Structure 1
Amino acid sequence: MQKIILLIMVLIFCLVGCNKNEVKSEIYKGKNLSIAVVGKTPEVREKNIDFKSLSLEEISKSVKEISNEFDAVFIMKEHLSEADDDKYVSTYKNLTIPTFFFETTKAHLPFVNEGVTYKTAPEVGENSYAVGYLYSGTKQEYKDDVWKFYLYNDVKNEVNIKDVYTNIFKIIESVSQSSNLK
């Protein structure tokens, strides 16, 4: 009997302890969002998010239309070394919606600066899971918006990754609302 009680206590302790590395957050329940994705479409908890796969070329050729049709652009890890091409710098700066770079160890730097590649850019020394960027200034007046999103306790698991997406959706909605006020 004591062995059964001890086993039950160990199981309860393990179940409680397993949740230390997972965040518990509410899902995004705001307005429906439409997001252009370069790469594999992410799996998210939310049902009010519409993803459409596009190439960087397609986005670059129709920046104004993309800005009008979508609320954000996601560039996934497998396309970061393509996204650093100098020909896309003006794309990111001309979009009026935020661009999010996933699993970049270089922040947004190689994507928005000419002559800097993903390979040659310095590591930023922090473990953000995603970085968002929205150009809002000029060369004389540096006022870009940059957001960094981190995994809970720096643990990469499905729950924590989906929480990052939820937080990104909240930022996208707030950017969308503030741009509608202008």
Structure 2
Amino acid sequence: MVELNRILLILGLLLLVACSNTEVKYDGNPLKIAVIGDIPELNNKKIHFEPLSLDEFGVNTVQISTNFDAVMITPVIFEEASNDRFVEVYNSSKIPIIFFDSEKRNLPFTNGGLTYETARWESLNNGSHTTMYLSDIGANREAVWYFYLKDEKGLDTLYKEIFQMVETL
């Protein structure tokens, strides 16, 4: 009886873990995304996430741009990621940077003198959930895309839109 309970517990835990991943119906080209912060729990064989540190990104920007399709930065690292020493890194990256779940868009990260904590949320809030930023210093321009989350059930759609945009860049 104890063995049966143990098996049922293990099966229940496996089912819970399997169901906790968000299924994303992205069917484009395979993407390799470096993640600074928490790795998203997604279920899609075409999306490969690889952890990356801020310092590694700052030192190896060219190599990162060659090996990955995008860099995603998540909320647990926003305050550190908004340090002025990374502004030039973001503004010289050759691949898009996804500021996932940033109420303050890309502005605290791509402009000196602001941090995520000190940037005024009210003036930066445009209702978006996530911002994608790509700077082209050679052409003296920048591109910013905003992605909106309507409700928790729309998280898979949000991810799909982000991945589709990364694929086109």
The amino acid that maps onto 1:173 is: E
**Residue among 144, 147, 150 paired with 2:148:** 150
Cα gap change, 1:94/1:142 in structure 2, threshold over 3 Å: closer, same or farther? closer
Q: Distance in 2 between matches of 1:73 and 1:128?
A: 19
Give the superposition deviation at 1:85.
Answer: 0.4
Q: Does the aligned pair in 2 maintain the 1:111–1:117 contact within 8 Å? A: yes
Mapped pair 1:65 → 2:59: no
Q: Which residue of 1 aligns with 2:38?
A: 40
Q: Distance in 2 between matches of 1:103 and 1:142?
A: 27
Secondary structure (helix, strand or coil) at the match of 1:144 reads strand
Q: Does the aligned pair in 1 maintain the 2:92–2:137 contact within 8 Å? A: no
Q: Which portions of structure 1, spanning 4 or more consecutive aligned residues, are displaced by more than 4 angstroms?
A: none
Q: Which residue of 1 aligns with 2:129?
A: 129
Moved more, 55-64 or 43-52: 43-52
Q: Which runs of 5+ in 2 are unaligned?
A: 1-23
Q: Distance in 1 between matches of 2:146 and 2:62?
A: 25
Q: Does the aligned pair in 1 maintain the 2:92–2:135 contact within 8 Å? A: yes
Q: Which residue of 2 aligns with 1:7?
A: none
Moved more, 100-109 or 118-127: 118-127
Give the superposition deviation at 1:137.
Answer: 3.6
**Residue among 150, 165, 175 paired with 2:159:** 165
Q: Distance in 2 between matches of 1:97 and 1:68?
A: 9
Q: Which residue of 2 aligns with 1:116?
A: 114
Give me the CA root mean square deviation. Answer: 1.5
Secondary structure (helix, strand or coil) at the match of 1:65 reads helix
Give the superposition deviation at 1:133.
Answer: 0.3
Secondary structure (helix, strand or coil) at the match of 2:159 reads helix
Q: Which runs of 5+ in 1 are unaligned?
A: 1-25, 176-182
Q: Distance in 2 between matches of 1:31 and 1:85?
A: 33
**Residue among 104, 107, 118 paired with 2:105:** 107
What TM-score do the two structures reach when normalised by structure 1?
Answer: 0.74
Secondary structure (helix, strand or coil) at the match of 1:78 reads helix
Mapped pair 1:94 → 2:88: no
Structure ID, larger Rg: 1
What TM-score do the two structures reach when normalised by structure 2?
Answer: 0.80
Q: Which residue of 2 aligns with 1:12?
A: none
Q: Distance in 2 between matches of 1:143 and 1:61?
A: 23
Q: Does the aligned pair in 1 maintain the 2:149–2:158 contact within 8 Å? A: yes
**Residue among 174, 177, 182 paired with 2:168:** 174
Q: Distance in 2 between matches of 1:102 and 1:49?
A: 16
